[in-house]
Structure 1
Amino acid sequence: MHAYDTAGDDTNPTRRVIVPAGRGSAVDVRRGQTLRVVNTSGTQVVDLWAHTRDEPGEYLGLSQCREVLQRIHFRPGDTLSTNRYRACLTVVDDTSGIDHDTLIAPCRTEMYLNVGLPGTHRSCTANHAQALPRWPSADPPQPWNLFMTAEVVPGGRIVYGRPPFRPGMYVELRAEMDLVLVVSSCPDDHYPTNGGDGSPRDFEILVDP
């Protein structure tokens, strides 16, 4: 199943992209546009990447953002940087109350094999490759894991948790340059990061003109 993309009209110019459970999509956004990543079910983790329109090798750089902001979680008002230290996204609003993870790698075939699951398991890495086939490597960058809780506790240990059940919670972003956003409805059912029974759910993206 592919993402369902509807263009806006004169009465409602907002573009709506529905990303099916366990799948991914690429969404073009122009500088100045705002977009909302809406957690329709209230339980779904969304891996998010942002690549510059003309050069996929420049992208939202999580390590650069952590360095510049001097913390591991991003908040409304923060401007996020590319791996080349250029402003690419600003966090406008966030209704989730979650410290969205910036540390954990995207799930991939080898991860599932490592924990005893079949290599045919869908993954965020495969979703990125399918959504952005011009990416030059089999390994995508570190994603921003929206709605994913991976708390760092004293001693440096990471504790995973499920998202709170808040259907319709969203993160709103403004593009500071022309971008291709790649998003994945994370299919991970091994770690306790997706809510409910751990299975993936649809989510949607709303792009304002």
Structure 2
Amino acid sequence: MRIREPNVRHALPPDLPELPTPNSFCTDTTLTKHIVPAAHGYAFAVNKGSRFHVIDLYGEQIVDFMAWVHDKPFTRIEKMSTAYTRYYLSGVQPAIGECLWTNADRPLFRVTADTVKVHDMTFMSCYPELYQKMGLKGHRSCAQNIFEAMQEWGMRNILEIAEPFNIFQNTPNYSLKRLGSSKPGDYIEFEALEDAVCAVSSCPYDLNGVNGGQITEIAVVIAEKK
């Protein structure tokens, strides 16, 4: 049970539309599914008002998620920020109906369904040097996965990646160890409140039993209104 003091809880934006029902995801929509290979990344655009699922196909697979407002032209300046999100959520994970915020103090996504309700907003993405220091040269990483996926959107340096919302990552007390929370078929659903470019990574961290000790593919399903 989450407990928030009344004087620190921040109100939701007053102009949010009514929370959609789970059944409406497939009603009068066109569905597009993409399988993301294990230990790799994928970038995709979503329009304001559309919804999408990030699905753990086999269980215990962490998914790093980042996003940028799709301005015209696309600049990647305004991005999803876990720091702003933690402020608005008083440091806890988003519940259904709550939002992920940008570094421009705007809500970017709303959580509209969630079968796990355990995620992380504290850890950075794993990165190439992290593995190199362990003697694992050439090991894939979330930072590299998302950088590769975002190159078609103009990203030219791995340091341009954003702060990750680590879907399905169970890290109480900042402890990174095997505490898998997601089961096969579990998902989180987001509603885009602005046009956005998103990127996901099937996290390649396969040490100490994290990710169940075996990296697996994930799926992204986008529902666009007809």
- The TM-score, its normalising length taken from structure 2, stands at 0.79
Other-structure match for 2:10? none
Closer/same/farther in 2, CA of residues 191 and 27 from structure 1, 3 Å limit: farther
Contact 1:44/1:200 (8 A) holds in 2: yes
Closer/same/farther in 2, CA of residues 109 and 13 from structure 1, 3 Å limit: same
Which residue identity is paired with 1:125?
A
Q: Which one of 86, 94, 107 corresponds to residue 74 of structure 1? A: 94
Deviations 1:112-164 (A, max 9, x none): 0122322x111111111111122354222220110111111xxxx53533323
Other-structure match for 2:19? none
Q: Which one of 105, 122, 126 corresponds to residue 144 of structure 2? A: 126
Equivalent position SS for 1:194: helix
Closer/same/farther in 2, CA of residues 159 and 132 from structure 1, 3 Å limit: closer
Q: How many residues get paired?
A: 191
Partners of 1:29 and 1:67 lie apart in 2 by 25
Partners of 1:129 and 1:80 lie apart in 2 by 21
Are 2:142 and 1:146 equivalent residues in the alignment? no
Higher strand share: 1
Contact 1:47/1:184 (8 A) holds in 2: yes
Partners of 1:160 and 1:22 lie apart in 2 by 18
Other-structure match for 2:128? 109
Deviation larger for 75-84 or 157-166:
157-166
Other-structure match for 2:216? 201
Equivalent position SS for 1:122: coil
Give me the identity figure in percent: 30
Which residue identity is paired with 2:147?
A
Contact 2:101/2:109 (8 A) holds in 1: yes
**Which protein has the larger Cα radius of gyration, Structure 1 or Structure 2?**
2
In structure 1, list runs of 5 or more residues that go unmatched: 1-10
Closer/same/farther in 2, CA of residues 15 and 116 from structure 1, 3 Å limit: same
Higher helix share: 2
Q: CA-atom RMSD, angstroms?
A: 1.7
Are 2:60 and 1:14 equivalent residues in the alignment? no
Q: Which one of 160, 173, 179 corresponds to residue 190 of structure 2? A: 173
Give the Å deviation of 1:68: 1.6
Equivalent position SS for 2:76: coil
